[in-house]
Amino acid sequence: MTLTFYWYPKCGTCRNAKKWLDAHELTYKDIHIAENPPSSSELKELFQNSGLDLKKFFNTSGQKYRELGLKDRLKEASEQEMLEILASDGMLIKRPIVTDGQKVTVGFKEEEFEKNWI
């Protein structure tokens, strides 16, 4: 099984996730999330497969999130609007995102990775 690993190389959490994947000898295709952000339709599929609230896909600690005032804007936004906002800039997306096409994890928690990827 080859995983898809959306990450940002300067992100410490992403580097820790990558180390974990490498240590467990998992095969993955890495995608630089800022240079090649997923499209709104790819994000919709990731969101639907994740079982998470769409707001969990936002990098709420990011500078861009604060600059755009998304905390307030998202309260009124439709699902489609949120997907388009996320697709507009990879830095708005919480990372890393790992998927096998069925399951999806967002962020890096060792327990979640063990449960889903081993």
Cβ 13 vs Cβ 98: under 8 Å: no
- Reported as a pLDDT band with limits 50, 70 and 90, residue 2 is very high
Whole-number pLDDT of residue 56:
96
Average the pLDDT over 22-42 and give the result: 97
Look up the pTM and report it: 0.94
Whole-number pLDDT of residue 1:
76
